[in-house]
Structure 1
Amino acid sequence: MVLSGGRRSRRSATPIRAVLLALFVASLGGSCQVQANPPSGPGTDPALLGPPLAWTEVVLPDRARPVTLATAQDGIVIGGVAPVRPEPRLFRTAGGPLTEVPVEPHSPYAFVARWLSIAVHDGQVLALGGARGGAHANVRWTVWRGQLRSAPRLVEQPQPFGVFGGWGAGDLTGVAFAGNEPVIAGAWASDRAGNDVSLWRVAGDRWARQDSTGTPLGSSPDVLNGARFVTSTGDGLALAGSVTDLGGGAIVSVPALWTAPGADGPWTLVRLPASQRIAEAHAARCDDAGCLVVGADGDSLAAWEVRGPTVTRLDVPRLVLAEHASVPAPVVIGDRTYVALPGVLLEGTDGGWHRRPGPEGVPVAAAATSDGLYLVTTEPQDGSHLWTGRP
């Protein structure tokens, strides 16, 4: 790992069930109203400010820039993009030096793909990349599979155009493992109305879309479903997003979580409570006991605990989100949960919630090892950066 000592922030495997319980208990203490960027600057509310982490930038080889992160059993996997072909790159670290994992593109768009999502399970890697092209500049999706153990590598699985593109195609959301089974989530035109939330499953080297119309993933003339995040729950899957209600004379976007015990379902939709007409779940951290979901309720950060059909709205500090902001999935180190926002790291323990200064830029991905936190941030004038910090 190459550590850059010159660039630092100018701001100064616990089971999820234990974390959810601690956060629920902490949330009973009352609501804290705190803006992400108080007018008087950092430090105006000392009760909500914890000690700063020592943030250090991790510089990737070959001038590659970080794009996304995934947690592996023995460390972190970093998806990057380089200025020379092949542009998609993959790195891994267990807290020490970076190791590059060879990538093998085959189709033309794979050589210039940018990672959307990477998932790791038991040494197996599933990745989804995309590059815009063609007459309409639509995203040309590429799917990759590989492994991190003996002879690590990541190889593209070229697919016919109609698998992810063509008439009826929507955007893809991400990848995950349901137990040992790799799954791709996205959207596809519904047979009833709008787009359905859709899943692709693999047989050999070919991916096939599963029909969602008429299931809880499917849309209808009164309800439009949309998922923006997918994650594993162990043997099953969870999708975070929103349900748009079109009836009743008003359009209301309701945060939503879909869960299933396996890749073949059955799916259950859980609506999450919100106070504003426009609200959405952005991401989640889950295991077989439940999920910790983060998102937006109007322009404010929101968090929910979901255990089966039971939903608890957590009383997190009021942090104002920028328009079109997306909150990365929470990460856990020991008994502490972290939610990353621009310039702010929200830390939850059984003693309550605390704000800590975060690194510069807008967080787009977060991951953690047993003793360290990794963040990918972006800045309009300075591109993306990978940071590591230790609580």
Structure 2
Amino acid sequence: MRRLTLAVLLLLTGCSSGGADNAAGFTAVDLTATPEALATHNDLLVIGTRPVDHPELVTRSADGRISNSRLTPATPYGKEAHWYGITSDGTTITGVGGERGGAHGNVRWSAWTGDTRAITEKPQAFSTFGGYGAGELIGPVRTAAGPLIIGTWQSAKAGLDIAAWTYAADTWTRQPSAGTVLESSQELLRFPLAVTQNGDGALVVGWQIAKGVVSAAVWQYDGTTWTTATLPDGDAALAARCWNGTCQVVGRAKGKLAWWSGTGADWRKITTPDVPVNDDMTLAAPVDVNGTPTLFVDHGGVKMVSEKDERPADGPSGAVVAAEKAGGQVFVIAGGRLWRLS
């Protein structure tokens, strides 16, 4: 997993003018720090920001009020963390932070729990997320049974397994992957890239390689059991979001955008406009825009891509690292700024 890459801040305010006739207008949301991650907490937008050298957490109400949450780190690396992911069940906010350090420059992880008033780093034993056999963390996700953190860990058979940590009594505990579809083997290596809530459970997306054949794949958790499915005609699934009983998964196939819709074992590939997606590119999860699943992507400028068409986004510029819908409004982080769809 790579740390979110942010572009240089742009000196833009309000909506841009002079865009294409079918361009969607956006308004810049003024923040005092660089936004890195987004989540929804009831009708509030939760924004993980980083001023220069430390994390902050702020919320935005539907009427535009910005409020700061009191953030209390407990470790030296927690004080310097970037946000890798934030999630909420409407009551409790869970976050994952990380910053590189130590002799080998590995990411030192921090886990955060709280609400809109205050969020606190809960220190863990070094061996919880680090040490011999450690892989990387992708981010947190909420399920009906409680929060999970998804990442990777050294496999007993080959490579890395997909790993899931559960939370109880301020402690994160890695669950066994052996004997489940999360386990890698010499015949099949698994690589998770993103996670999202799916009903009462979770959906992990990524890619796998078996007998030299690379394919996009998903791993689904229903609160008890993990299952897996291969996505048709794809190299990797990079991001996903589920709503109304269906998941929208975006990724790449032969250097182009690939989009799948479905759940369980039933997935179909959607025909979309021709958008290049190279091996180093990340995608933000699609969101519902007026009833249409929509992807925001930097493609000769930020574009709104759906199954039907591709429209310019008038205002945002640069790499899109997150998208979220809160209080009936759509937000994106692009070029190191937060934007609201007008």
1:372 counterpart (319, 329, 332):
329
Secondary structure, counterpart of 1:108 in structure 2: coil
Which digits, 9 at most, give the CA deviation of each residue in 1:172-215, with x for residues without a partner?
11100111501100000000110000000112011111110221
* d(CA) in 2 for partners of 1:185, 1:76: 22
**Structure 1 pair 201/288, CA: closer, same or farther in 2 (3 Å)?**
farther
Please point out which of 248, 265, 281 is paired with 1:325.
Answer: 281
- Within-5 A mapping of 1:140-219: 140-148=108-116, 152-219=117-184
Correspondent of 1:67 among 36, 49, 72: 36
- Answering whether residue 99 of structure 2 is matched by residue 131 of structure 1, we say yes
CA separation in 2, counterparts of 1:122 and 1:293?
24
**Counterpart of 2:221?**
260
Helix, strand or coil: the match of 1:145?
strand
> Helix, strand or coil for the counterpart of 1:111?
helix
| Cα distance in 1, alignment partners of residues 283 and 250 from structure 2 | 7
Aligned residue number for residue 300 of structure 1: 256
Question: Is contact 2:248–2:259 with CA below 8 Å preserved after alignment?
Answer: yes
Q: Higher strand proportion, which one?
A: 2
Distance in 1, Cα, partners of 2:278 & 2:266: 29
Higher helix share: 1
Please, which moves more after superposition, 112-121 or 69-78? 69-78
Distance 2:254 2:25 in 1: 32
| Structure 2 equivalent of residue 25 of structure 1 | none
TM-score, length basis structure 2 = 0.91
Q: Does 1:231 align with 2:196?
A: yes
2:340 counterpart residue number: 388
One-letter amino acid of the counterpart of residue 70, structure 1 = A
Q: Structure 1 residue runs of 4+, over 4 Å off?
A: 7-11
Q: Retained in 2: the 8 A contact 1:121–1:180?
A: no
Deviation by residue 1:274-301 (Cα, 9 ceiling, x = unmatched): 16xxx10011111472311111112111
Correspondence for 2:268 among 271, 287, 312: 312
Deviation string, structure 1 residues 135-193 (Cα, Å, up to 9, x no partner): 11111100000013xxx110110011110000000011110011150110000000011
Q: What residue is the counterpart of 2:3 in the other structure?
A: none
Structure 2: distance between partners of 1:312 and 1:101: 41
1:269 pairs with 2:269: no
- How far apart are the structure 2 equivalents of 1:314 and 1:328? 17
Residue 94 of structure 1 corresponds to: 61
Segments of 5+ residues of structure 2 without an aligned counterpart are: 1-10
Which residue number corresponds to residue 15 of structure 1? Answer: none
What number of residue pairs does the alignment pair up? 328
**Cα distance in 2, alignment partners of residues 333 and 69 from structure 1:** 17
Q: Percent identity?
A: 33
Tell me by how many angstroms 1:338 deviates: 1.7
Do the aligned residues in 1 keep the contact of 2:45 with 2:326 (CA within 8 Å)? yes
Once the two structures are superposed, the pairs formed by residues 44-83 of structure 1 within 5 Å of their partners are: 51-61=22-32, 64-83=33-52
Cα 1:288/1:215, change in 2 over 3 Å? farther
Contact 2:45–2:327, Cα closer than 8 Å, also in 1 = no
Q: Give, in whole Å, the separation in 2 of the partners of 1:11 and 1:156.
A: 45
C-alpha separation between the residues in 1 aligned to 2:55 and 2:100?
14
Report the AA paired with residue 310 of structure 1. D
State the 1:73 CA deviation: 1.2
The letter of the residue matching 1:75 is L
| Aligned mates of 2:165, 2:327 — CA distance in 1 | 32
Which amino acid is the alignment partner of residue 187 of structure 2?
D
**Counterpart of 1:83 in 2: which secondary structure?**
coil
Which residue pairs with 1:103 in the alignment? 71
Q: Which has the larger radius of gyration?
A: 1
Q: Give the counterpart of 1:241 among 177, 190, 206.
A: 206
Alignment deviations for residues 210-244 of structure 1 (CA, whole Å, 9 cap, x no partner): 11022111101011001111111121111010111
Q: Secondary structure at the match of 1:163?
A: helix
Could you give the per-residue CA deviations for residues 54-104 of structure 1, whole angstroms, max 9, x where no partner exists? 22222212xx111111122112111000125xx100111123121111111
Q: What is the alpha-carbon distance in structure 1 between the residues aligned to residue 244 and residue 128 of structure 2?
A: 31
Cα 1:76–1:11 shift into 2, 3 Å: farther
TM-score, normalization: structure 1? 0.80
- Structure 2 counterpart of 1:117, one-letter code: G
- Secondary structure at 1:55 match in 2: strand
Letter in 2 for 1:320: P
- Does residue 118 of the first structure (1) align with residue 86 of the second (2)? yes
AA at the equivalent of 1:285: R
- Any conservation in 2 of the 1:173–1:185 contact (CA below 8 Å)? yes
* 1:347 to partner: Cα distance: 4.4
Helix, strand or coil at the partner of 1:54: strand
TM-superposition CA deviations, 1:234-262 (whole Å, max 9, x none)? 211110101112x2xxx222111111111
